[in-house]
């Protein structure tokens, strides 16, 4: 496990991996608490699986971009450390399953050799920054958002303000008003705009989210200048870190903070944080995402296409014109987002002669190939067809998005992967005309938490269960009417009815037959759903919810042979940190050390934030002695004043609030960073002295 220490060129990354190795050893030795360790490993992309003793490793690929070499490296890693399968996610990541915890540092080190990271792919951090996969080639885009997504990823990676938030933050960049990156369900969603002066900027959507209780985002800026993208985002994260919920993970998202404080107050707090930001303006380097080298023009010659009809369907549904004249983008449908490693290698070999060296993972778990010359399309089709990658109907009704569900996830209630395959078969066999329908989508999650994004689908299913005749029946909650409208406007699907999972195929038949027979010419599903109303669809599907006529096979979930039983584990999406006094004091010491390191190297804003975190952790440790466990950093500050400063037990010469919140009253200068650090050192020593007396 030591080899990575000499192979990595980036000392920061090397230290990160060494720290993970040390923490794993400490966890194995019992010297670090399981909950604290969980938070640490999640922030490094290591996530517990449903199966005991193995991990899912999530690879963070900003805006879904991956090169041939990187994809081959990931395939090699999946063979050596995992199950030989790559799973593409709705956040444009790649996941590897069945990995031993002890081997994760070594795995990470080998990935980093090709500039691939695990850092902050999970946990209470800024998750993978997503973007429209066709950014850069979209004929309707005002400009390419890829460099902006890259800038946000790079600026906040390892940034102290977002390492231990109450929960995750999700950020997206759409390429145009079509909003194909779903800005309306993100904590921060950005849609590119050009103002009357020809300047670049973004429409900003704020505090959206799916989960068990979806919230549509609020439009808070119609035009945010491009140089304010990073400062505004930084201020938002600072507010979420201080005021966001930390005890109840079900309320620990930005959408609930806005619900609690009100949008106006949250935006006021965001504006107040501006003074503390590392930067007040940030120029985006538009050249950070380098255009890939174009594929060489070849004499492709004549190719034999065995099934001309299939080629026509594929071309019509999977090929798009780029804004670059003479070039095309080709979408590849990947069933349930799974690619075996041998297929991944064959895929790279097949496409190399015909496409640019830049693959984008799509939000519906497929792939986009770029810069295909018009004359190369037939040859590319033949090459892809040989390895089974020419399924028609990309991003249509027949292209179903799904999370792993009960296959690997702790939170999965019922199967989603096999169900997606079964429903796709229904469409291809019984409703083939719908492979051209791109305004009607199906999305499936194994539980209500929306990893499969069922809440933003026209037809959504999420895993559930029902009870009948003393037994548990696998079920799906049917949700209808969700989806994208455009320019930051979206719709959340409504819960209509719950039916046994094995009847999901009948649900689809009922819905599609009804839509075909009764919708008006040119009427999309949103319009049809609104016209008919929720109760119409409830009555339509009600016969399928009848549990008096259950068959034996309906007590068995899709993809299983045994009788269904709910077995829900503990989810790890939030990476909750346990509030133990000793742990908090150790954290305070560690953060104080980081503050000094950053102070010494002139990273004053980072030093100040580590100092701030030191003060909060130290105060929280002492509050626990009085049985006070506040769920927000702002609450810790307030309660320390109530229980220690105002009672005279702690003399600071001011309120604790005034002392700590110097952070957002001062510019991040060298003088303030030094002063704040020294004052925090005195406070930390006082805390330790008081605790020592209490334990004598």
**CATH code, 626:** 1.20.120.330
DSSP string computed for 490-503: EEPPEEEEEEEGGG
Mean pLDDT of 267-289: 96
Tokens at residue 153, please?
């990823």
Query: For position 572, what pLDDT does the model report?
Result: 56
C-alpha–C-alpha distance, residues 495 and 479, integer Å: 4
- Phi then psi for 460, rounded to 5 degrees? -120, 150
Q: Give the other-Cβ count within 10 Å of 679's Cβ.
A: 16
The pLDDT of residue 570 is above 70: no
CATH code assigned at 53: 3.90.480.20
Of the candidates 408, 526, 388, which has an alpha carbon nearest to the alpha carbon of residue 456?
A: 526
Structure tokens, 692: 């020592």
* 445 SS3 class: strand
Closest CA to 205 of 263, 134, 164, 147: 263
Say if pTM beats, i.e. exceeds, 0.85: yes
Query: What SS3 string covers 175-202?
Result: CCCCCCCCHHHCCEEEEEEECCCCCEEE
List, for residues 599-608, the tens digit of each pLDDT value: 999 999 999 9
Domain limits at 495?
Answer: 402-555
Which among 276, 295, 325 is the end of a domain? 276
Average pLDDT over residues 347-358: 97
Q: What are phi and psi of 161, to 5 degrees?
A: -75, -15
Please indicate, yes or no, whether residues 407 and 529 belong to a single structural domain of this protein: yes
- Considering 506, 539, 555, which residue would you say is the last residue of a domain? 555
Instruction: Tell whether 136 and 264 lie within a shared domain.
Output: yes
- Asked whether residue 358 falls in the same domain as residue 425, the answer is no
Average pLDDT over residues 531-558: 95
Query: Do residues 382 and 406 share a domain?
Result: no
| Whether the Cβ atoms of residue 444 and residue 420 lie closer than 8 Å to each other | yes
Tell me the pLDDT tens digit for each residue of 138-169.
999 999 999 999 999 999 999 999 999 999 99
Structural domains of the chain, count: 5
pLDDT at 103 exceeding the cut of 50: yes
DSSP state of 643: I
Q: Both 135 and 256 in a single domain? A: yes
**Count of H-run helices and E-run strands, the chain:** 21, 22
> Is it the case that residue 577 has pLDDT exceeding 70?
no
Which phi-psi region, left, alpha or beta, contains residue 488 (left: φ > 0; alpha: ψ -120 to 50)? left
Residue 142 and residue 194 in contact, taking contact as beta carbons nearer than 8 Å: yes
DSSP 645: I
Share of the chain above pLDDT 90, in %: 78
Residue that finishes a domain, picked among 112, 145, 160? 112
Q: Pull the structure tokens for residue 78.
A: 């999946």
Residue 391 lies in a domain: no
Q: Which residue is associated with the tokens 């083939």?
A: 432
Q: Do residues 153 and 129 lie in contact, with contact meaning Cβ atoms separated by under 8 Å?
A: yes
Domain CATH code at residue 365: 3.30.70.3340
Q: What is the mean pLDDT of residues 442-450?
A: 90
pLDDT of residue 37: 85
Tell me the pLDDT band of 415, cut-offs 50, 70 and 90: confident
* Residue 333, pLDDT above cutoff 90: yes
Domain assignment of residue 669, yes or no: yes
Is residue 342 included in any domain, yes or no? yes
Q: Answer yes or no: is 420 within a domain.
A: yes
Closest CA to 42 of 410, 451, 577, 572: 572
Q: Are residues 371 and 485 in the same domain?
A: no
Residue 42: inside a domain, yes or no? Answer: yes
Asked if 543 and 633 sit in the same domain, the reply is no
Give yes or no: residues 378 and 407 share one domain.
no
Based on the fold, state whether residues 648 and 545 are members of the same structural domain: no
End-to-end CA distance of the chain: 43
Are residues 107 and 137 both part of a single domain? no
In a domain, 560, yes or no: no
| In a shared domain, residues 348 and 408 | no
Name the residue with higher pLDDT: 213 or 2: 213
pLDDT band for position 536 (50/70/90)?
very high
Give tens-digit pLDDT for 228-242: 999 999 999 999 999
Following DSSP, what letter does each residue of 345-408 receive, concatenated?
HHHHHHHTTTS-S-EEE-TTS-EEEEEEEGGGHHHHHHHHHHTT---S-TTSTTS-EE--GGGT
In a domain, 184, yes or no: yes
pLDDT at residue 55 in the model: 93
Q: Is 34 exposed, middle or buried (0-12, 13-18, 19+ CB in 10 A)?
A: exposed
566 within some domain: no
500: domain CATH number is 3.30.413.10
Does pLDDT of 488 surpass 90? yes
Task: Give the pLDDT confidence score for residue 578 in this predicted structure.
Answer: 39
| pLDDT(567) > 80 | no
Q: Please tell me whether residues 374 and 419 are part of one structural domain.
A: no
pLDDT value at 573 more than 60: no
């Amino acid at each position: 496990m030591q080899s990575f220490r000499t192979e990595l060129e980036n000392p920061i990354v090397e230290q990160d991996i060494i720290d993970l190795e040390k923490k794993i050893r400490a966890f194995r030795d019992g010297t670090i608490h399981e909950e604290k360790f969980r938070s640490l490993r999640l922030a490094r992309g290591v996530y517990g699986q449903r199966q005991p003793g193995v991990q899912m490793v999530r690879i963070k690929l900003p805006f879904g971009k991956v090169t041939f070499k990187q994809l081959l490296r990931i395939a090699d890693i999946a063979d050596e450390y995992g199950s030989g399968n790559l799973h593409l996610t709705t956040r444009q990541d790649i996941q590897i399953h069945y990995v031993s915890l002890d081997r994760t540092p070594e795995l990470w080190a080998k990935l980093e050799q090709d500039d691939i990271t695990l850092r902050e792919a999970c946990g209470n951090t800024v998750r993978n920054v997503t973007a429209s996969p066709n950014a850069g080639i979209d004929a309707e885009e005002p400009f390419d958002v890829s460099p902006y997504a890259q800038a946000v990823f790079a600026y906040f990676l390892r940034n102290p303000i977002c390492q231990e938030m109450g929960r995750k933050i999700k950020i997206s960049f759409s390429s145009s008003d079509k909003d194909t990156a779903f800005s309306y369900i993100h904590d921060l969603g950005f849609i590119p705009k050009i103002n009357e002066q020809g300047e670049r900027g973004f429409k900003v959507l704020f505090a959206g989210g799916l989960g068990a209780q979806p919230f549509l985002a609020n439009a808070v800026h119609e035009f945010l200048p491009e140089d304010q993208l990073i400062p505004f985002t930084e201020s938002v994260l600072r507010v979420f870190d201080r005021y966001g919920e930390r005890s109840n993970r079900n309320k620990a998202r930005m959408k609930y903070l806005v619900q609690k404080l009100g949008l106006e107050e949250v935006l006021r707090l965001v504006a107040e944080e501006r003074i503390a930001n590392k930067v007040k303006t940030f120029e985006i380097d538009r050249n950070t995402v380098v255009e890939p080298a174009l594929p060489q023009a070849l004499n492709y010659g004549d190719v034999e296409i065995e099934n001309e009809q299939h080629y026509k369907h594929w071309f019509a549904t999977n090929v798009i014109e780029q804004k670059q004249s003479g070039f095309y983008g080709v979408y590849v449908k990947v069933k349930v987002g799974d690619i075996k490693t041998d297929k991944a290698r064959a895929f790279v070999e097949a496409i190399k002669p015909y496409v640019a060296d830049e693959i984008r993972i799509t939000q519906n778990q497929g792939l986009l190939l770029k810069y295909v010359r018009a004359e190369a399309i037939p040859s590319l089709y033949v090459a892809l067809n040989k390895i089974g990658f020419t399924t028609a109907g990309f991003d249509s009704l027949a292209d179903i998005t799904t999370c792993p569900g009960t296959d690997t996830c702790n939170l999965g209630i019922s199967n989603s992967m096999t169900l997606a395959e079964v429903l796709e078969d229904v469409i291809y066999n019984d409703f083939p005309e719908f492979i051209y329908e791109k305004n009607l989508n199906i999305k499936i999650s194994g539980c209500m938490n929306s990893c499969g994004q069922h809440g933003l689908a026209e037809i959504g299913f999420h895993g559930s269960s029902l009870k009948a005749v003393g037994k548990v029946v696998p079920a799906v909650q049917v949700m209808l009417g969700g989806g994208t409208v455009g320019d930051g406007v979206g719709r959340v699907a409504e819960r209509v009815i719950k039916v046994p999972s094995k009847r999901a195929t009948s649900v689809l038949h009922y819905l599609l037959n009804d839509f075909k027979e009764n919708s008006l010419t040119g009427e999309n599903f949103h319009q049809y759903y609104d016209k008919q109303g929720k109760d119409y669809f409830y009555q339509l599907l009600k016969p399928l919810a009848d549990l008096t006529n259950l068959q034996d096979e309906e007590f068995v979930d899709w993809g299983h042979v045994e009788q269904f039983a709910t077995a829900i584990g503990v989810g790890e999406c939030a990476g909750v940190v346990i509030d133990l006094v000793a742990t908090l004091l150790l954290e305070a010491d560690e953060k104080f050390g980081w503050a000094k390191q950053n102070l010494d190297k002139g990273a004053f804003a980072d030093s100040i934030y580590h100092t701030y975190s030191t003060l909060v952790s130290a105060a929280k440790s002492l509050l626990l002695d009085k049985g006070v466990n506040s769920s927000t950093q702002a609450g810790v500050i307030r309660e320390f004043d109530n229980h220690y400063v105002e009672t005279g037990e702690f003399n600071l010469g001011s309120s604790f609030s005034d002392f700590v919140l110097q952070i957002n009253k001062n510019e991040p200068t060298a003088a303030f960073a030094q002063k704040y650090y020294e004052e925090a050192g005195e406070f930390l020593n006082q805390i330790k002295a008081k605790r020592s007396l209490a334990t004598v």
